[in-house]
Amino acid sequence: MTEEVSKSTSSQTRYKLWVDILIFAAFLIAMDPRSSGLALHEWLTLSMLAAMTVHLLLNWDWIIQISSRFLGKLGGLNRVNYILNWLLFVDGTLIMISGIMISEVALPLMGIQLPQGFGWRRLHDMSANLFLLMLGIHTALHWNWIANTFNRYLTQPIVRLFVAGSKKDASA
Amino acid sequence: MKTLGRIFIILFAFVLLSGLMVAAVDASGLNQPDFNGERTEFRPQGQGGEEGGLPFRPDGDRESGERGGRGGFGWIFGAVKNVGVISVLVILIAWPRSMSKKKKKAVAGP
């Protein structure tokens, strides 16, 4: 039973790591629309709504736990994390909605034409820059988890693979 | 079923926030190109607009805009810049935290 629980936690952690790497890579590409092109920028960010939903689902227990304890006894770091995550959600929503309002590829392709405006464009730029800063703080606050999980599920298996390969070569 | 309910909650929060933002921007008049009805939009003469050509767009119509002007290895610069910003924040926040943890462990002793 304990082994089963441990296996399920382990696979969930691995899944979380891959989803986070995917979101991070997509964010880096989306942050530079001049290089990636507007079409990729728009479709990628629209699909990030699904990735963000998966990210939230994977951390659902933590969200519920902290939400119920937020007004009571809660560690300072958890409180900061919780507030920062809400700010990220609000800012992420602002990035998406402002992006939708100034869309030049994805929405016209769906036959939707929205009036263009400077306000949404400015908001889109500002919220994206703010998101980058908040993502940096979010990454920093979870750095221990990132480093440990990265080491456990990516670095160590690769190292083991090389060690096993060299042992085979030596015995041959 | 439980997951579906959670997805619904997340999407509901997203839609609610989006609606509030659209309403706030509309109410503040932030999206109006002409804020007081006095300032007229600059349009270069002889370039489209009401004369039948392509409508003039004050921003983003240039080739070097978001449509892919920075080709080649330009994307590396953008990615490095963004990763750099995140790295600086990680170093500024995570490093002092790990140092203080190490100090605490050292004080606690073996």
Q: Which of A29, A34, A136 faces B69 most closely, judged by CB atoms?
A: A34
Q: Average pLDDT in the A101-110 region?
A: 86
Query: Which of A11-15, A147-151, B72-76 has the highest average model confidence (pLDDT)?
Result: A147-151
Partners of residue A37 in chain B, C-beta under 8 Å: 67-68
Say whether both A85 and A125 belong to one domain: yes
Q: Is A164 on the interface with B (CB under 8 A)?
A: no
Find the residue in B nearest to A90 (Cα).
B17
What band does A156 get if pLDDT is binned at 50, 70 and 90? confident
Burial of residue B90 (CB within 10 Å: 0-12, 13-18, 19+) is buried
Say whether both A153 and A102 belong to one domain: no
Q: Do B79 and A119 touch (CB under 8 A)?
A: no
Partners of residue A141 in chain B, C-beta under 8 Å: 93-94
Burial of residue A39 (CB within 10 Å: 0-12, 13-18, 19+) is middle
What is the domain range of residue A167? 143-172
Q: How far apart are CA A95 and CA A102, in angstroms?
A: 11
Say whether both A100 and A77 belong to one domain: yes
Which pLDDT belongs to residue B60? 46
Q: Average pLDDT in the A65-85 region?
A: 88
Compare A3 and A68 and report the one with higher pLDDT. A68
Q: Is A151 on the interface with B (CB under 8 A)?
A: no
Tokens matching residue A99: 């992006």
Say whether both A90 and A154 belong to one domain: no
Residues B48-69 pLDDT 10s: 444 444 454 444 444 444 444 5
Q: How far apart are CA A145 and CA A17, in angstroms?
A: 10
**Beta-carbon-side half-sphere exposure of residue A137 (alpha carbons within 13 Å):** 14
pLDDT surpassing 60 at residue A141 = yes
ipTM above 0.85, yes or no: no
What band does A130 get if pLDDT is binned at 50, 70 and 90? very high
Q: Which A residues, 77 through 106, put their C-beta within 8 Å of a C-beta on chain B?
A: 89-90, 93-94, 96-98, 101, 104
Say whether both A101 and A124 belong to one domain: yes
Interface test with A, best of B12, B30, B31 (most A CBs within 10 A): B31
Number of Cβ atoms within 10 Å of the Cβ of B103: 10
Which pLDDT belongs to residue B67? 47
Average pLDDT of the residues of chain A:
86
**Number of domains composing chain A:** 2
